[in-house]
Each structure stands twice: as C-alpha cells, then as structure tokens.
Structure 1
Amino acid sequence: MDPKTLARIGAIAFVAVAITATVIELSRKEERPEATPPRQAQVGAADPLRDELFRCQSLGEAGPRDPACLRAWAESRRRFLTPGTTRPQAGSGLPGSSGESRSRGAAPGGE
C-alpha cells in the first residue's frame, strides 16, 4: 500500500474519532450539582476563627492590612502546624490576640 494512502486513511480515522467524541460529549446532559448552602452553613459548631477567616477572605486586598485578619491567619497557621489542637477552649473568643494561644498548644518542655 502506498504511504500517502495509508497516511490519508489514518488522518480520516483520527478525524472520525474526534468528531464522534465531540458529538458524544455535546449530547450528554449536563449534571448540575445539588444546590449547597454557603460554606458557613456546613460548619457544625460555631468557630469564631472560621467566621473571622471568612470575613477576611471577603475583604480582598484589604485583608493583609487588617490587624484582626493578621491575628486570625496567625492562629490558623498555629492550629494547622500544632498537632492535636483544632478548636479553641470554650469562651476564649478569637484566639491569637494574647499569649493564651501559646500556652494551650505548647509542647511539654517549653518552646
């Protein structure tokens, strides 16, 4: 068989497969995800840090200049990097505003 003919057959087969895949994809019914409420509604218990982080996220570019956001991000990093501490103690408000956060999650033997 001539190489030109073989190349043409290969090109035609490739185009046919591409067209078939496109038609199949376009004929699919679009699956819409279930309407989920905002992320805050999914939170089980009220966490002031999470609320503050959402507020800081909504600030956009002003977030890095907001002192409350800086404290919230520092506490979030501390929680993430310190094993075993995920929730603040009851009644402590937004953690990270005083030295209490260091004494709670500190490892035995000091820093």
Structure 2
Amino acid sequence: MDGKSLARVVAVIFVAVAVTATALEMTRKEERPHDAATQLPAALAPSPPREGLRRCQALGEVALRDSGCLRLWAEQRDRFLGLNAPFATSASGPVTSPKDATSPEAR
C-alpha cells in the first residue's frame, strides 16, 4: 500500500469516527434538575438597577440632567471597572469626574 492510499484510508476512518461521535452526542438526552428549569437565569431576571437604566434610556437627553440617572450610571461604571470604593456622590449635585492632570484646563 502506498502513502496516498494509506492517507485516504486513515482520513475515511477519522471521518467515520467523527460522524459516529457526533450522532451519539446528538441523541444523548440532557438531564436537567427540576429546580433549575423553573428559575430564570440571573441575566434574564429583572433587577432594580437594570430597570433604572431602562428608565434612564427612555428619558433620552433629559437623563443627562437627572440626578438619579447620573448616580446610577456612576455606580454601573464603577462596577464595570471593578472599583471597590465608588466615588462619593451627593444625590443633589451632578456627578463630575476628576480633572485629568494632562488636560489643558488642569495646567
């Protein structure tokens, strides 16, 4: 048997094994616990911050002047960035970021 024929036989055997493994995996039934089937995943469960963000989204440009939206955005930004201690913000004042030392206004 020459090299080409041997390579073809090995390729056919490999494809046959792959097709058989795929067919077996597709026919396998997945066992689910009964508790997990009745609960919503955490990503789909409604949460107060998510509802607040939806409200701010619906407000549109007015949300830029809403102190609740500014506070919520600051909390979400801190959570996204992984900051342990969020910036201290007052509920009555707008949220401002610290000036960058390299900006022209800071000089």
Query: What TM-score do you get using the length of structure 2 for normalisation?
Result: 0.49
| Greater RCO, 1 or 2 (C-alpha within 8 Å, sep 6+) | 1
TM-score by length of 1: 0.48
